[in-house]
């Protein structure tokens, strides 16, 4: 948005001391709030929950690695277990990215699987896969203590205002931490580092309280056939456009890309139906997919996320909803949950 280097020049100018600025320092940007978060608000991601996916090198020979964080309990654990099984069996090695649909998803798997036009043979599935069930696209509200998390007053305020994020820092923190009004669900909220939605508080009280992960940019889900098929985890996709939230509760979400999504989001779009490549040569080979815990220490990446129930996250979310850093004129006064990405940082072994 800013002009190329004009903006850098302007920022440099702002960084120089001046009387006006000493009187009123610029409010911190969301990124600055994250940078200032104390160490104890960062939570290590278990290496068992990290997948390292190595694509074939780019045309210029540079390395392309994508790191995916798998979801923790109570979400999608049957699929997550299967994905570890696929990875540990080496089943994902030599699959390909077969579909890239603009403003939607990039999808990878065995191009020969159930493909009548394929010239190759589909891979045999590994032993030990768990049978999946579409009922597990959501988890019970109790599983994350949702009913106690949401004070009635907070929920009422959120529902009443229509926006969730107040311009008052103090109020905003509470509301953000507890729940956001959402176009796709009764409410949305952050819990244990993930963006979630829930039907709690919906008019239809007969429906049991449920909570589910949502399709924000970079989230990873499981391809499936028509219901009741719920997919094994062999076929995965990631969101590379505006959040396709209509897929929530219709597909298992299993994780998110925490590094290297640009290697998927910048791939050429497929020209076939749904963005599949018509030309097989366009498919990007995936060389290996490994669970980080299985890698030698020297190659094992490590990541942390900013605790979503901490003070810094509340400030960060409030600042995302009310940008006051120098470039901005009018703070929005709100944000949708997918425009408040949970900060994740690499801490070791690039």
Among 35, 43, 44, 97, smallest CA distance to 66 is for: 97
Do the Cβ atoms of 55 and 287 come closer than 8 Å? yes
One character per residue 246-285, x = contact with its own copies (rule: CB under 8 A):
xxxxxx---------xx--xxxxx---xx-x---------
Shortest Cβ 88–its own copies spacing (Å): 22
Residue of the chain from 205, 242, 293, 349 that contacts its own copies (CB under 8 A): 242
With binding defined as CB under 8 A, does residue 95 bind its own copies? no
Residue 291 zone, left/alpha/beta (φ > 0; ψ -120 to 50; rest): beta
With binding defined as CB under 8 A, does residue 3 bind its own copies? yes
Q: Within 13 Å, how many C-alpha atoms sit on residue 348's CB side?
A: 14
Query: CA 118 → CA 115, 189, 255, 286, distances in Å?
Result: 5, 43, 29, 18
Do the Cβ atoms of 45 and 69 come closer than 8 Å? yes
With binding defined as CB under 8 A, does residue 119 bind its own copies? no
Shortest Cβ 156–its own copies spacing (Å): 11
- 140: tokens are 């019970």
CA distance 61 to 72: 35
Shortest Cβ 114–its own copies spacing (Å): 4
With binding defined as CB under 8 A, does residue 97 bind its own copies? no
According to DSSP, residue 166 is labeled: -
Residue of the chain from 21, 36, 103, 168 that contacts its own copies (CB under 8 A): 103
Q: Which residues are within 8 A (CB) of 31 and not within 5 positions of it... i.e. 6 or more apart?
A: none
Shortest Cβ 188–its own copies spacing (Å): 10
Query: Which CB sits closer to its own copies, 290 or 320?
Result: 320
One character per residue 68-87, x = contact with its own copies (rule: CB under 8 A):
--------------------
With binding defined as CB under 8 A, does residue 27 bind its own copies? no
In our burial notation (b when 16+ CB lie closer than 10 A, e otherwise), range 87-117 reads bbbebbbebbbbbbbeebbbbbbbbebeeee
Shortest Cβ 56–its own copies spacing (Å): 16
Shortest Cβ 192–its own copies spacing (Å): 22
One character per residue 150-179, x = contact with its own copies (rule: CB under 8 A):
---------x--xxx---------------
For residues 278-337, which are near its own copies according to CB under 8 A? 320-321, 323, 326-336
Cβ neighbours, 10 Å, residue 24: 7
């Amino acid at each position: 948005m800013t002009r190329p280097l004009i903006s850098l020049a302007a920022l440099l100018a702002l960084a120089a001391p001046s009387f006006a600025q000493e009187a009123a320092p610029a409010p911190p940007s969301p990124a600055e709030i994250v940078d200032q978060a104390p160490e104890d608000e960062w939570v290590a991601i278990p290496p068992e929950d990290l997948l390292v996916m190595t694509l074939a090198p780019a045309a210029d020979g540079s390395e392309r690695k994508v790191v995916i964080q798998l979801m923790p309990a109570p979400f999608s654990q049957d699929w997550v277990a299967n994905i570890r099984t696929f990875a540990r069996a080496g089943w994902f090695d030599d699959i390909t990215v077969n579909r890239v649909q603009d403003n939607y998803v990039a999808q990878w798997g065995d191009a020969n699987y159930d493909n009548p036009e394929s010239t190759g043979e589909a891979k045999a599935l590994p032993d030990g896969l768990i049978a999946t069930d579409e009922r597990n696209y959501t988890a019970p509200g109790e599983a994350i203590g949702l009913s106690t998390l949401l004070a009635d007053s907070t929920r009422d305020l959120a529902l009443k205002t229509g926006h969730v994020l107040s311009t008052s820092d103090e109020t905003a923190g509470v509301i953000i931490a507890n729940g956001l009004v959402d176009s796709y669900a009764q409410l949305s909220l952050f819990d244990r580092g993930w963006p979630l939605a829930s039907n709690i508080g919906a008019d239809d009280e007969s429906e049991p309280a449920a909570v589910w992960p949502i399709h924000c940019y970079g989230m990873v889900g499981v391809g499936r056939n028509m219901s009741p098929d719920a997919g094994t985890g062999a076929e995965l996709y990631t969101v590379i456009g505006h959040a396709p939230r209509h897929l929530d509760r219709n597909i298992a979400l299993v994780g998110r890309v925490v590094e290297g999504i640009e290697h998927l989001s910048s791939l050429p779009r497929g020209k076939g139906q749904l963005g599949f490549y018509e030309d097989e040569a366009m498919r990007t080979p995936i060389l290996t997919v490994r669970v980080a815990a299985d890698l030698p220490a020297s190659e094992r990446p490590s990541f942390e996320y900013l605790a979503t129930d901490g003070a810094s996250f509340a400030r960060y979310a409030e600042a995302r909803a009310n940008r006051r850093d120098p470039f901005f004129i009018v703070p929005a006064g709100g944000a949708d949950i997918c425009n408040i990405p949970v900060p994740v940082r690499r801490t070791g072994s690039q």
